[in-house]
Amino acid sequence: MSNSEKANKNTYRFKYIKIGIFLSGLSVFAQLYLFQPLLPLVSEYFNAGAGNSSLLVSSSTIGMATGLFFFAFKADAYSRKRLMVFSLLSSALLTFISTWIPNLEILIVIGFLKGFLVSGVSAVALAYLTEEVEISSVALAISMYLSGNTIGGMSGRIFTTILAGEYGWKTAVMIIGIVSLILGLTFWKIFPNSRFFHPQRTDYSLKIKQMRKFLSDPFLLSLFCIAALIMGTFVSMYNYLSFRLEAPPFSLSHYFIALIFLMYIFGVFGTMLTSYLSKHYEKRNILKYFILIMFASLLLFYSKNIYLVIFGLALFTLSFFSAHTMASQLVAIRAKYGKSSATSMYWLFYYSGSSILGSGTGYLLHATSWSLFVSLLASILFIAFLLVGKLPVFSK
């Protein structure tokens, strides 16, 4: 293959792009939500409440949101591969260093920095694939990246919980840091350099003008807010469900609780289901009904029957990923120009919702009860459902 040709699925270059982009997604999302399953252990270790310990997750996601906003302006000024390598290696080192941090406040600051750094991968990964891969193979390459994201987030949570139960949470964090460093070094070695990208100066005035236009568009603003609300609800449930399952009447072990993160598999099904439905049904209705299913599934979390709770979590996870996939598609459809800036704004709201609601609901849980916590999540989803009514009708 000549240097002027883009990679396709029959070339070695595409093979290395596919493997590398999968490993990058694996590393980023294993690290981003590293502390989510460890919150009860960290809370006990630092003698902190659920809300304070949850800042370990929220600091990473708000760092991610801040980084994506920064890279919305600056990403095109750096080499794609160099930025991704720097993000992967530096974040892995911070994860490794976290093992020796003596207090919760410094650990939260490191979480923010780590989130900021890993955002460098998310900011340019899809752009790299569309630039370097032949159009007929782009979908396959993107699916490998998203699979890495999902599997990284799921396996990172499961193995962290199991390792923490056996060796303690600090050892678990150290092992994830070492594995992430190995993944980063492997990525550096095998991932091909860009052939069709050349760093360029940022036109700040154009970017700011685009973002102002998006924020003044009631339809896009509604989608951004919907993303924040559904993501905040989703992260809140996964942040604090382990507290619920450790306590009576469930009193489950760390090993069993680790398995709840297998529910992320239903997220993959949700994404695939949305792709199918969007070809046959009106897009706004798809979003509306999946948010409604999220709302309905919350009723099962009031139950003291573990099987109903597990079924509720599967339904909740599937409907969240379906709604998120549909909302992000609608942003791309609505934004006729400056799609990358519109996508950056979407992710900014998405991770901000994760951070603010992910911690805020924890303080409510600590001060009140599980039933009031679930009721608050239902209220948040009801607001998201109402916002869907502000969206225009999109074609099939």
Both tokens assigned to 166:
């056996």
Dihedral of the CA atoms 146, 148, 153, 156 (nearest 10)?
180
Q: Helix or strand or coil: residue 326?
A: helix
Q: Which residue has the higher pLDDT, 124 or 395?
A: 124
pLDDT in tens, 168-193: 999 999 999 999 999 999 999 999 99
Of 261-270, 359-368, 387-396, the poorest mean pLDDT is in 387-396
Give percent of the chain above pLDDT 90. 46
Looking at residue 389, its pLDDT comes to 84
pLDDT in tens, 47-89: 888 788 889 988 998 999 899 888 878 877 888 899 999 999 9
Looking at residue 214, its pLDDT comes to 86
Average pLDDT of every residue of the chain: 88
* 379 — pLDDT class (breaks 50, 70, 90): very high
Task: Give one DSSP letter per residue of 146-180, joined into a string.
Answer: HHHHHHHHHHHHHHHHHHHHHH-HHHHHHHHHHHH
Looking at residue 340, its pLDDT comes to 64
Dihedral of the CA atoms 211, 215, 221, 224 (nearest 10)?
40
Per-residue CA distances from 121 to 113, 129, 183, 328 (Å): 14, 12, 13, 18
Query: Taking Cα atoms as reference points, which of 351, 346, 370 lies closest to residue 298?
Result: 370
Query: Taking Cα atoms as reference points, which of 333, 363, 267 lies closest to residue 52?
Result: 363
The CATH T-level fold of domain 1-202 is: Growth Hormone; Chain: A; (1.20.1250)
Query: Taking Cα atoms as reference points, which of 180, 217, 160 lies closest to residue 28?
Result: 180
Q: Is the pLDDT of residue 121 over 70?
A: yes
Q: Which residue has the higher pLDDT, 353 or 142?
A: 353
Going 107 to 108 to 110 to 114, the CA torsion angle's sign is positive
Domain 203-396: CATH architecture, name and number where available: Up-down Bundle (1.20)
Measured CA to CA, the distance from residue 92 to residue 184 in angstroms comes to: 8
For residue 391, the 8-state DSSP code is S
Q: Is the pLDDT of residue 338 over 70?
A: no
pLDDT in tens, 192-207: 998 888 877 777 787 7
Number of alpha carbons in the 13 Å side-chain half-sphere of residue 124: 28
* 394 — pLDDT class (breaks 50, 70, 90): low
Q: Helix or strand or coil: residue 270?
A: helix
Burial class (CB in 10 A: 0-12, 13-18, 19+), 257: buried
> 283 with 394: CB under 8 angstroms?
yes
Q: Is the pLDDT of residue 154 over 70?
A: yes
Q: Is the pLDDT of residue 236 over 90?
A: yes
Residues of the chain with CATH 1.20.1250.20: 1-202, 203-396
Helices 204-215, 339-367: crossing angle, 10 deg rounding: 60
Instruction: Indicate the pTM of the whole model.
Output: 0.83
pLDDT in tens, 25-34: 899 989 988 8
pLDDT in tens, 288-323: 999 999 999 999 999 999 999 999 999 999 999 889
Looking at residue 7, its pLDDT comes to 81
Per-residue CA distances from 365 to 44, 52, 261, 317 (Å): 16, 12, 21, 21
- Terminal CA-CA length for the chain: 38
Looking at residue 395, its pLDDT comes to 52
Looking at residue 4, its pLDDT comes to 60
* 330 — pLDDT class (breaks 50, 70, 90): confident
Q: Which residues pair with 210 in a beta bridge?
A: none
